[in-house]
Amino acid sequence: MAVRKLVTVVEEIHQEGGRAVEPAARIAVVAAVIDNPWAGQGFVEDLAPGIEATASDVGALLAPRVLEALGAPAEAYGKAAIVGLDGEVEHGSALIHTLKFGDHFRRAASATTLLPAVEKRAAAGTVFDIPLKHITDATIRSHHQSVEVRLADAPHPGEIVVALAAAAQGRPQQRLAPLSSEQ
């Protein structure tokens, strides 16, 4: 796995709706800009060798970094793969929609739910939103949120941006009734 760069973003929200958020709401994102393991090969029927060579390594790289950047236990999490224009959306999906990738984050965050994801093919500088859900119960509405990310110079055409996001809490000032109240 060839990593061109790592980007870490930490957002702290101190005020929402005109009211203080105590403690500040924290969301962290760590993104790796890596070479697309299938770039320049034309259509690749069997993606398994590239998955085997890359998915676990990128998951192991990102999971501890995003939790360290968050600086608190994660309550919500998500993932992203943004494929450069010379690749296919399937290339990003192949890396992040495997237990070889996701289980690193699940174990590190003591999580049990599936990681919500976004994947797309795009030019460098595209904006993408990483969806977040609660780490153990995806029906907890307060933790349904997203974080916007943009890397000015990535992905290059033969690269993939792979990112993990974690939040230390649900949305600031959330006040929706639990899903169970509607059943």
CATH number at residue 9: 3.30.1330.110
Q: How far is Cα 4 from Cα 155, in angstroms, rounded to an integer? A: 10
155 closest CA partner among 39, 11, 50, 10: 39
Domain that holds residue 111: 3-182
Is residue 51 within 8 Å of residue 21, measured between CB atoms?
Answer: no
Q: Which residue has the tokens 């005020």?
A: 15
pLDDT of 178: 73
pLDDT of 182: 73
pLDDT of 139: 87
Going from the first residue of the chain to its last (183 residues), give the mean pLDDT of each consecutive group of 10, the final group possibly shorter.
97 96 97 96 96 98 98 98 97 98 97 97 98 94 96 98 98 83 71
140 backbone dihedrals φ, ψ, rounded to 5°: -75, 105
120 closest CA partner among 151, 155, 170, 72: 155
pTM score:
0.95
pLDDT of 134: 97
pLDDT of 176: 82
State the total domains in the chain. 1
